[in-house]
Structure 1
Amino acid sequence: MKKVIIAGGGPTGVTLALMLVQRGIAVTLVEAASDFRRVFRGEGLMPSGLNALSEMRLSEILEKIPYRQLDAWEFILGKKPLFKVDEPIEADTQPCTLVSQPPLLEALILEAQKYNHFEFIQGVAVKDLLKIDNRVTGVKLADGREIAADIVIGADGRNSIIRQRAGLKLERQPTSMDMLWFKLAANPRFLEENIFTAIGDGENAFAVFHGVEAGKLHLGWSLTDSKNTANSSDKTKVEWAQMFASISPSWLAEHFINHAESIEKPIKLSVVVGLCPSWHTPGVLLLGDAAHPMSPIRAQGINVALRDVIVAVNHLVPALLAEAENEEIDRIFSQIQQEREPEIIRIQQLQKEEGRQHELLPKNLFLRKIVFRLARLVNKAIRLSWIQRQKKMRQGVTRVQLEV
């Protein structure tokens, strides 16, 4: 039986491990963290990600863990509504769904542990790769253990150790946006209707919605320049509440002021966006953020990663079950990249275009004045343009279907 080592116990690594062991492939999954309760994990599943879970017959697991659907998207400019779009945006699709990753990952691991040929090593990092004649043949763990395998798959995120040790290059795209991610007490309006609300005044902007965690609003504050970033670290809870309130409609501004003490210390999310020219080297394949870290715009990371898993399973399972030679497996790595890369490139382009829309107002005073005067007069056109830009990011650019 061929053996696979997967580094990284996030959605990419865990779903891939489960898909492989269900099809008779021996898998060792290595996760550096001692549990799944990371400080920050993305929660947004778009129709493309929900469809990928359905293809993998994992939708029932989703029903057993905490989740919360979005009811709508709303944009507020200068404290006044610009437009609103109800979920689901497209006919015959599921609404964008927020899912709590830790219980999802734990449930998937429990499923995988039903198979004797699955091994889960948690709380120990991969330190290096083992090689024979320029081919990777396994991994060396931080505790000194060495584990041999026929292939090693790096699903260990944007700062992938597997990518670094394999000598695979990540070509980063220039970005001008970092974010501060806050949690604070929920407002009853978000319980009645969970609306992803984007608020801006032309210079400052944030998005707020009710996450999966009961009674908690999530708020992402955009940091668009170094001065903004530097000044943000010194603000008190009250000062942040005043900042949020200063560009919010009255009902939300009042909530921020009244619940200032509930604002938790923010997490700084440094945005890394890029693409590896090659996702593989002899014995190694990268998937998910390890191969193509995505912008946070429209929550694409988990969704495209799940689609990576389906394509990888389609190609790898027949070859591994047939005991294919190393050269054939390496060719399959190339086929996986060729199939997935066009969608990744296009979605990163769409994210970049969407990001430019948000950058125009802060950089152009004249444009801000025009938009504030005319936006509500042409909001139907703006709304339609926004909907059209979202569709391919929500549904995916290519058709992805599990075939094995």
Structure 2
Amino acid sequence: MSQVVIVGAGPIGATMALLLSKKGIAVKLVEASRDFKRLFRGEGLMPSGLDALEQMDLLGLLAEVPHRAIDAWEFLLSGRTLFRVDEPIEKNGKHYTTVVSQPHLLAAIIEQAETYPQFEFIQGEPVGDLLFSSDRVSGVKLASGQEITADLVIAGDGRNSVIRKKAGLKLTKLQNNLDILWFKLDSGVFAKSANIFYSILQGREGFGLFRASSGQFHIGWGLHADDNYDWQQVDWGEKLAATSPPWLAEHIVKHRESLTKPMLLSVVVGRCDRWSIPGLLLLGDAVHPMSPIRAQGINMAFRDVIVAVNHLVPLLTQSSADLSKIDAALPQIQLEREPEIIRIQKLQAQEIAQAELLHNYAFLRWGAKTFAPIIRPGIRASWLRRQKQLRQGVTKVCLVV
């Protein structure tokens, strides 16, 4: 039976480790952090991600961890509702977009993996380097000096992947960095109201707001290259209130002491031309970091795992590992997954471009506000068309092993 080392215990690493362990494959999951409580972890599960969890028999875990559904999407322009769409968007849709505590979900998945004797979780140990044998990756070397050999190394160590750099795989950036300030705010009297994802634009400035799995409001404020202020010097309670509709402005003022200091998320979007070298496969944000638009990072990660498992399990469960067949399968995983990733990244760029048009052109903002009742059906229909693939995925992904 083969041995696999997986680097990074995020959505890729946790689910991949569990699925391989279930098949009797020896797995060592290596995670640099001592816990899952990073400053920021995406929470949004689209129907595509929920479907992937269901196929992996993990959807039931949501009942055990903090989560809440999104009830609707509403777009506000200069205090006026441009349009609103209720969940689920799809006719006869069975999955609402859901926000989930990713740290709790990851812990629950790994807890399941730990019930299998062939699984080992090495936590608090960063990987320092890759091991090679005859120009093939043969394992990893931990920062402590410990060496772990493997028939295959899988990297799911995120957008700042150490493994990607050690393997010499180049990440091609696809657009300018997207800078977002992230805040949390007590939800107060709104704690039990409908969970609406608001996109709010007032003048040239705007932000998104929703209630997270914790019940708090999460706020994402977009920064722009032409902003004429230093975000570190801003009174954010005042600025957010000034940009908000009256009901939200009043709430922010009342609860401003609960408003957290802004956390800067500088997001790089890109893809590697190659997802693998002999003995090594990269998946998820390690090889195709996504924009935060519609939380595609975690959803695409789960779908990457399903395709990779389909290709790898038949090879890794053989009595003796055929390394040449394993290496030949790695480009096939990229070939199957890459078309969806390319399309989703283009759709995310289109969403950003729409927002940039309203940011840059006062005439468009005036026209959208003034003629909202007339143009609402067309704008709503256009938005819904773009959401279909962002929500459901582009290709059919089915777990078959």
- Same fold? TM cut 0.5: yes
CA distance in 2, matches of 1:266, 1:376: 35
Which residue in the other structure is 2:154 paired with? 153
CA distance in 1, matches of 2:324, 2:124: 33
Matched residue count? 399
Which residue in the other structure is 1:101 paired with? 102
* SS, match of residue 54 in structure 1: helix
Query: Is the Cα contact below 8 Å between 1:66 and 1:100 reproduced in 2?
Result: yes
Question: What 5-or-longer segments of structure 2 have no aligned partner?
Answer: none
* SS, match of residue 42 in structure 1: coil
TM-score (norm 1): 0.96
Query: Is the Cα contact below 8 Å between 1:176 and 1:225 reproduced in 2?
Result: no
The alpha-carbon deviation at position 190 of structure 1 amounts to 5.1
The alpha-carbon deviation at position 377 of structure 1 amounts to 2.4
Which residue in the other structure is 1:277 paired with? 273
CA distance in 2, matches of 1:169, 1:93: 39
Deviates more, 1:338-347 or 1:364-373: 364-373
TM-score (norm 2): 0.97
CA distance in 2, matches of 1:190, 1:89: 23
Paired amino acid for 1:245: A
Query: Is the Cα contact below 8 Å between 1:187 and 1:217 reproduced in 2?
Result: no
Which residue in the other structure is 2:116 paired with? 115
* SS, match of residue 293 in structure 2: coil
1:180 aligns with 2:181: yes
Query: Is the Cα contact below 8 Å between 2:177 and 2:269 reproduced in 1?
Result: no
Q: How does 1:46-85 map to 2 (within 5 A)?
A: 46-85=46-85
Which residue in the other structure is 2:380 paired with? 383
Which residue in the other structure is 2:252 paired with? 256
CA distance in 2, matches of 1:347, 1:187: 36
Query: Is the Cα contact below 8 Å between 1:21 and 1:118 reproduced in 2?
Result: yes
* SS, match of residue 212 in structure 1: coil
CA distance in 2, matches of 1:202, 1:159: 34
The alpha-carbon deviation at position 325 of structure 1 amounts to 1.8
CA distance in 2, matches of 1:240, 1:246: 10
Query: Is the Cα contact below 8 Å between 2:181 and 2:223 reproduced in 1?
Result: yes
CA-based RMSD of the aligned residues comes to 1.2
Per-residue displacement from partner, 1:313-344 (whole Å, max 9, x unpaired)? 00000011123422211110011000000000
The alpha-carbon deviation at position 191 of structure 1 amounts to 2.4
The alpha-carbon deviation at position 226 of structure 1 amounts to 5.8
Which residue in the other structure is 2:398 paired with? 401
Deviates more, 1:324-333 or 1:192-201: 324-333
Per-residue displacement from partner, 1:105-149 (whole Å, max 9, x unpaired)? 111111111111111000110010001111110000011111100
* SS, match of residue 6 in structure 1: strand
Paired amino acid for 1:218: H
* SS, match of residue 209 in structure 1: strand
The alpha-carbon deviation at position 367 of structure 1 amounts to 2.3
* SS, match of residue 191 in structure 1: coil
CA distance in 2, matches of 1:46, 1:62: 13
Per-residue displacement from partner, 1:191-248 (whole Å, max 9, x unpaired)? 210000110024101011111113x1100000122645x611112xxx2122112122
Which residue of 315, 320, 342 maps to 1:319?
315
Q: How does 1:226-305 map to 2 (within 5 A)?
A: 227=227, 231-235=230-234, 239-305=235-301
Aligned-residue sequence identity (percent) comes to 54
Query: Is the Cα contact below 8 Å between 2:2 and 2:321 reproduced in 1?
Result: no
1:37 aligns with 2:37: yes
CA distance in 1, matches of 2:226, 2:16: 39
CA distance in 2, matches of 1:176, 1:97: 27
The alpha-carbon deviation at position 173 of structure 1 amounts to 1.2
* SS, match of residue 300 in structure 1: helix
CA distance in 1, matches of 2:191, 2:174: 35
The alpha-carbon deviation at position 365 of structure 1 amounts to 2.7
Deviates more, 1:173-182 or 1:115-124: 173-182
Paired amino acid for 1:391: K
Which residue of 330, 333, 338 maps to 1:336?
333
